């Protein structure tokens, strides 16, 4: 399984380890980064004279480190996993030092021994860090128990918030939200923690605050009933809570090989983790690719903005398939046709249908137009059916206004239920990308 940064941080034994791992996930703090088959190793400079030697067995994942920490996994092992997820190209393939290799060999022998002794009982097969199916089931059950406890506490927190009245929510200290988010990180539910950290952004709008809290409440209600949900809805629930996507299984299931137009990109910075969203369109199919970068490091190379690539796109399980992975190489090909624009009313209908399938969907993307720009506080776009707020940076909005010359425009934009985020502009048949960056 390939872990995302959120999934890696969810492995942390407590919030402090996750925070420290983010700070250590920078190339400048590491020496001799390597990823031989099935493992990682590197040296991280600590406060002492000698760097800490850290290794990770990816079959667990399980870490080993020369640091004195008694936490498992330690912050160095978590940081090493984060670096490999965000910057795999910085890792060589050199064999690990003797101490790490001996540890890896011992784990491999124990795993092989279990495979060769089928007469062992279930209890004998279960070890805290073994790669066997029984061990994985035990770890999964342990995590689900933590998530259950975290969501129970979140339910109580939300009930108290509603009982006190939403009018009093803005007067709460920020520590209330931060403490609750930290508890959810400890409970290995980083997706729910992120939603809690977003609550202060909605305090000025009671209707938006209520809608946001409703999404959180739905998580607390759906989780105890997860076994009664269909597979796609279970996948959406786990994704919303921050469970890792099984990249290997997604790629193994295969996907859609076609020519995909790169319609737009946006990036968001949250603490020490950056996320880049890339939207692809082929016919009536839309795919969302996510890339991550930790510790202020750059993203992996991006697909050509406004270009067209021939690639196989594999969708993650979902009631409304959108998140996807690229399988193999993406080859640049001549530009393909642009999607047919829709009206604002059609956008809302499509987004509503997507929310009906996945109530935790954060955003969708659409080609919309023709639109008239209306500057102001806030800016709006308008068509024959109505108007919607236009977000994004001042530079992006001014660019749209300058290129369009005040004439109707066609935009490819994200819609999150609050405002449109313009990602690209169609001018005289040419797709022009707009640089967008958000603060979390």
Q: What is the pLDDT of residues 317-326, one digit of tens each?
A: 999 999 999 9
pLDDT at 224: 96
Is residue 277 over pLDDT 90?
yes
Q: How many domains does the chain have?
A: 4
Q: What pLDDT band is residue 129 in, cutting at 50, 70 and 90?
A: very low
**Pairing mode, strands 52-57 and 62-65:** antiparallel
Contact 216, 238 (CB under 8 A): no
pLDDT digits (tens, 9 = 90+) for 293-304: 876 677 888 888
Residue 129 lies inside a defined structural domain of this protein? no
pLDDT at 433: 93
Residues 422-436 have a mean pLDDT of 90
139 or 280: which leads in pLDDT: 280
Residue 419 lies inside a defined structural domain of this protein? yes
Is residue 71 over pLDDT 80?
no
pLDDT at 126: 35
* CA 85 – CA 251 distance, rounded (Å): 17
Do 220 and 266 have their domain in common? no
Angle subtended by helix axes 75-86 and 15-24, to nearest 10: 50
What are the backbone angles phi and psi of residue 319, rounded to the nearest 5°?
-70, -30
Is residue 415 over pLDDT 90?
yes
Cβ contacts of 89 within 8 Å, gap of 6 or more? 300
Contact 266, 416 (CB under 8 A): no
207 or 133: which leads in pLDDT: 207
- Burial (CB < 10 A; 0-12, 13-18, 19+), residue 203, is middle
Q: What pLDDT band is residue 436 in, cutting at 50, 70 and 90?
A: low
Do 144 and 227 have their domain in common? yes
pLDDT at 284: 92
Is residue 1 over pLDDT 70?
no
Do 326 and 366 have their domain in common? no
pLDDT at 174: 87
Q: What pLDDT band is residue 69 in, cutting at 50, 70 and 90?
A: confident
pLDDT at 438: 54
**Token reading at 407:** 């004439």
pTM exceeding 0.75: no
Last residue of a domain, one of 196, 212, 240: 240
pLDDT digits (tens, 9 = 90+) for 22-57: 889 888 889 889 998 889 999 998 877 788 999 998
Q: What pLDDT band is residue 370 in, cutting at 50, 70 and 90?
A: very high
Is residue 387 over pLDDT 90?
yes
Residue 154 lies inside a defined structural domain of this protein? yes
pLDDT digits (tens, 9 = 90+) for 86-104: 888 888 888 888 888 888 8
Q: What pLDDT band is residue 437 in, cutting at 50, 70 and 90?
A: low
Do 225 and 256 have their domain in common? no
* CA 270 – CA 128 distance, rounded (Å): 33
Measured between its terminal Cα atoms, the distance across the chain in Å is 27
Residue 259 lies inside a defined structural domain of this protein? yes
Is residue 2 over pLDDT 60?
no
* CA 354 – CA 351 distance, rounded (Å): 5
Q: What pLDDT band is residue 17 in, cutting at 50, 70 and 90?
A: confident
Do 148 and 229 have their domain in common? yes
pLDDT at 113: 62
Other CB atoms closer than 10 Å to residue 435's CB: what's the count? 14
Do 258 and 233 have their domain in common? no
Question: In a 3-state reduction of DSSP, which class is residue 172?
Answer: coil
Residue 132 lies inside a defined structural domain of this protein? no
Question: In a 3-state reduction of DSSP, which class is residue 349?
Answer: helix
Residue 293 lies inside a defined structural domain of this protein? yes
Is residue 123 over pLDDT 80?
no
Do 350 and 326 have their domain in common? no
Do 284 and 313 have their domain in common? yes
Q: What pLDDT band is residue 121 in, cutting at 50, 70 and 90?
A: very low
Do 228 and 295 have their domain in common? no
* CA 74 – CA 260 distance, rounded (Å): 41
Is residue 122 over pLDDT 50?
no
* CA 236 – CA 321 distance, rounded (Å): 10
Cβ contacts of 121 within 8 Å, gap of 6 or more? none
Using a pLDDT cut of 70, give the percent of the chain over it: 92
pLDDT digits (tens, 9 = 90+) for 160-186: 999 999 899 999 998 899 999 999 999
Is residue 132 over pLDDT 60?
no
pLDDT at 318: 96
Angle of CA points 310, 314, 316, to nearest 5°: 150
Do 229 and 288 have their domain in common? no
pLDDT digits (tens, 9 = 90+) for 211-246: 999 999 999 999 999 999 999 999 999 999 999 888
Is residue 76 over pLDDT 80?
yes
Last residue of a domain, one of 215, 240, 265: 240
Q: What pLDDT band is residue 157 in, cutting at 50, 70 and 90?
A: very high
Provide the residue range defining the domain that includes 202: 137-240
For the beta sheet containing 30-34, the strands, ordered from the edge strand earlier in sequence to the opposite edge, are 30-34, 39-44, 52-57, 62-65
* CA 100 – CA 31 distance, rounded (Å): 15
The secondary element (H helix, E strand) that includes residue 354 is helix 344-357
**Token reading at 414:** 């994200």
Do 198 and 270 have their domain in common? no
Last residue of a domain, one of 240, 257, 285: 240
pLDDT at 296: 66
pLDDT at 15: 76
Is residue 124 over pLDDT 70?
no
Measured in whole angstroms, how far is the alpha carbon of residue 38 from the centre of its chain? 24
**Pairing mode, strands 308-315 and 324-333:** antiparallel
Mean pLDDT of the chain: 87
Do 10 and 92 have their domain in common? yes
């Amino acid at each position: 399984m390939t872990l995302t940064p959120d999934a890696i941080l969810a492995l942390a034994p407590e919030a402090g380890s996750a925070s420290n791992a983010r700070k250590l996930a920078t190339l400048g703090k590491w020496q001799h980064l390597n990823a031989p088959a099935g493992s990682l190793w590197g040296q991280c400079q600590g406060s002492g004279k000698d760097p800490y030697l850290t290794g990770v067995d990816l079959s667990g994942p399980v870490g080993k480190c020369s640091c004195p920490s008694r936490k498992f996994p330690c912050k160095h092992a978590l940081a090493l996993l984060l670096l490999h997820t965000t910057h795999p190209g910085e890792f060589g393939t050199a064999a690990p030092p003797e101490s790490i290799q001996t540890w890896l060999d011992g784990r491999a022998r124990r795993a092989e021994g279990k495979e060769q002794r089928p007469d062992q009982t279930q209890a004998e097969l279960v070890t805290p860090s073994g790669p066997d199916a029984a061990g994985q089931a035990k770890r999964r059950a342990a995590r689900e128990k933590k998530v259950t406890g975290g969501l129970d506490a979140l339910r109580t927190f939300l009930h108290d918030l509603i009982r006190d009245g939403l009018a009093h929510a803005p007067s709460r200290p920020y520590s209330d939200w931060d403490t609750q988010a930290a508890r959810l990180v400890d409970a290995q539910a980083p997706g729910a923690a992120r939603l809690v950290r977003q609550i202060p952004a909605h305090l000025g709008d009671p209707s938006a605050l209520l809608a946001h809290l409703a999404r959180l409440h739905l998580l607390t209600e759906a989780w105890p009933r997860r076994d009664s949900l269909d597979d796609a809805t279970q996948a959406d629930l786990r994704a919303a809570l921050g469970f890792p996507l099984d990249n290997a299984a997604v790629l193994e299931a295969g996907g859609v090989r076609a020519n995909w137009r790169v319609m737009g990109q946006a990036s968001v910075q949250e603490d020490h983790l950056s996320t880049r969203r890339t939207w692809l369109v082929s016919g009536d199919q839309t795919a969302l690719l996510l890339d991550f970068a930790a510790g202020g490091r750059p993203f992996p190379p991006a697909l050509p903005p406004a270009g067209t690539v021939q690639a196989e796109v594999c969708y993650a399980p979902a009631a409304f398939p959108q998140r996807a992975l690229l399988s193999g190489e993406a080859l640049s090909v001549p530009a393909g046709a642009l999607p047919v624009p829709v009206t604002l009313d059609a956008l809302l209908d499509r987004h509503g249908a997507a929310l009906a399938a996945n109530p935790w969907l954060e955003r969708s993307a659409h080609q919309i137009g023709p639109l008239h720009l209306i500057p102001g506080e806030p800016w709006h776009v308008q068509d024959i059916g109505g108007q919607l707020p236009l977000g994004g940076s001042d530079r992006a909005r001014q660019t749209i206004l300058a290129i369009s010359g005040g004439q109707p425009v066609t935009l490819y934009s994200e819609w999150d239920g609050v405002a449109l985020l313009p990602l690209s502009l169609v001018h005289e048949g040419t797709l022009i990308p707009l640089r967008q960056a958000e603060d979390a």
